[in-house]
Chain A
């Protein structure tokens, strides 16, 4: 049993929350606005120091009250499995998890006997919202295929919250998603992490305190897209030259801003320095160098992932995760050594040359070798079946004798993706103090027949299979004529 450590957690949590912010500081308060004597105050967007979080999360969960799930088989995401488990949710947070805990007075009790409870599913590679359904050209907003370096674009500015895919994913237990730009470019732009909640704009979905990711891409896509246009990169060696060139520029940009910050700190009275001109592309790359933005690197082949680890060493940044990583099983030791997560599938392979060596046990082999494995979707249908996809990886791993247990495999779609997108202190496991992102399944989640009964986000039931919403969540699906036309019920 785990209990909240109360106040101590809060303090630590707050510190982490701040550290987790996009650029390591709070929102928009420069505190320097009125300084600078007779100088006119700059708009916040002109000074990176006062524009730390320009599109802040405006997600405000409703009050959850006190909810207690009882009698369940609980997979905590930390590797533990608890029979007859109790999960206590208070004010949007996990308060306690254990076997047969006493139920506090005044709680809403959910009898979960015979059911399974897991952390909310996290998909760390989704294009929902940026490649929304219907997949018409007008909704194709995920790939800025106009330059190999578009680090300046932010996926959140393409997200259409009305994508019907969000609601389908919710039914599959998905509570948190990292939405990414596509992989045509060496630097594709910033990712955004969202909670799977109804919203009118992306700010109302944004995961509070989640760091940004930078989408990078290895291999075939950049060299094909730009090679076909007759410009660099047209080869893997030019891909790498492209990354290195950009990091050199970014380091220079970072030095310029560091000098400004120092000058500003030392300045007295009306001698305030002028900020350098912002460059959004360089700002994102510099954010990686300072450790505030996490590298999310699309990369299939073992040899290329190995090279990317060397590039990271050369320029002093970390690769947080390799995405797709179909050959990760060939370099489990290198991944473990550099503490890099990989996000992959169980059954996708062979759709292009660099995916030819994809194997179903990839995640299981990486996991057993002690590195961080994640099962991701990259697909609006597969996102609805992530536990089933993890089951395939587990089954093949066990065929090989790896002995993967369900309480381990659940981490591939909960705790590990939370780590890989930098929210592991907030969600991804059923531990006291974490956000109450929880799924109640009507059976073993790895069974093909099992469905999510209840999906809680911050303790609020966002989906209840017994009481499905009367109307579709997406405006797009609302009021569309359908069966009644063809079944003779259309006339008034």
Chain B
């Protein structure tokens, strides 16, 4: 055991030495940079000066006094995204007091804004961060639930939940008190079996409810003054929900639609055309069967590539090369993993599995870095290692998609992060025992 103890002590010293990046220049030399666009640059020198990337190319001149980091055989990527998660708004899933992800209030459904519930001190965040995740989309929708023991006597029912599920928010996972990057990215709602269940027992009802809501919002927008005087007809949504749905109706923000079977995907595309809505598809397990139509509509998809079972009738044709086939058809593919924030760090293995089943590796990396950054990030620094931007990147011990490889250095918004987690504190306590 003595050997382990010494190693641990060494590790502790190393961690203590990291801290946040102050006035310091770091040069990672000889690593392969796989940037957010999916373009690889071998033997790159990445220089980070006072938290800002000042070089990211082969042969960059290293300033005197820079701390050198050996990058040979290693890979640098932008920080990874998990694009549909409840990280930040839950601590222990089954302890409801610690879990803000199960909002179900009929008067505040579209308007539900989980960014107010984000807890930067959650123990889930350092674990994700140590796994190279620097951004997360807090998604108030049950698009990618899995595992986590629903068969242990709980039911996963969603009857009586409102149809609309609220507004996703982008957060960063740096150690900081304010981690919400961008709230209210759009509006999430399910489409298919679970929507049918909330709507009263048929998909067709959920479509009617959605159409009525859109019509009400348009009417409300044109008659706000009258509404505030009590001078309009009754709307199907509360005032808060009407206001929250306005950006979607105006085409300023997308609908994040959790949709699964091919027929429902086509229906969603049709509705978006008819109602002039921006759309992002989530799930899209049968997307490969209608990939051409999704590509033609220019609609991005957020998918979990490991789904390959007919868990529901609407995912009957789920298969492991869905990501590869959608990519090939020209769809903007974003990869994510379980919606359970405890497993945010698994997103790189989801991408690896997509590669194992035919997606080009660099595209799969882009699908967890640059592409979600472009969709969600706006002016945020994430998703690209670019000169002049705050460092938001990860140095990996090797291929970032391999489970045997760990993140070695993580920078978020220009600050180097500790890789200490509560899990590692527990491991070290019981190794020393």
Contacts and interface: CB of A to CB of B under 8 A. Distances in A.
Given A330-B430, A347-B345, A351-B342, A448 B317 contact: no
Contact of A353 (B95, B153, B307, B311): B95
Interface in B1-40: 3-4, 7-8
A399 B307 CA distance: 30
A133 interface: yes
Interface residues of A, number: 69
Interface in B323-370: 340, 342-343, 345-346, 349, 352-353, 355-356
A5 to B, nearest CB: 37
Contacts of A330: 430
A31 B316 CA distance: 51
Size bracket, chain B contacts: 35 or more
B146 interface: yes
A142 to B, nearest CB: 6
A165 B309 contact: yes
Interface string A204-231: 0000000000000000110011000000
A352 interface: yes
Interface stretch (B59-67, B240-248, B249-257, B396-404): B396-404
Interface stretch (A190-198, A281-289, A303-311, A386-394): A386-394
B423 A360 contact: yes
Given A365-B431, A381-B307, A482 B316 contact: yes
Contacts of A312: none
Contacts of B423: 349, 358-360
Interface stretch (B46-54, B86-94, B269-277, B387-395): B86-94
Given A350-B92, A395-B404, A482-B289, A134 B311 contact: yes
Given A168-B308, A477-B310, A482-B289, A399 B406 contact: yes
A448 B353 contact: yes
B404 A329 contact: no
A448 B402 contact: yes
Interface string A325-358: 0000110100000000000000111111100111
A388 B146 contact: no
B312 interface: yes
A209 B35 CA distance: 55
Contacts of A106: none
A250 B400 CA distance: 54
Contacts of A357: 426
A446 B289 contact: no
B136 to A, nearest CB: 15
A391 B348 CA distance: 14
Interface string A357-381: 1111100010000000000001111
B337 to A, nearest CB: 10
Contacts of B152: 143, 182-184, 221
B262 interface: yes
16 contacts: A133-B309, A136-B313, A140-B151, A221-B153, A347-B343, A365-B427, A380-B311, A382-B147, A385-B349, A396-B427, A447-B404, A477-B310, A477-B316, A480-B317, A486-B262, A486-B290
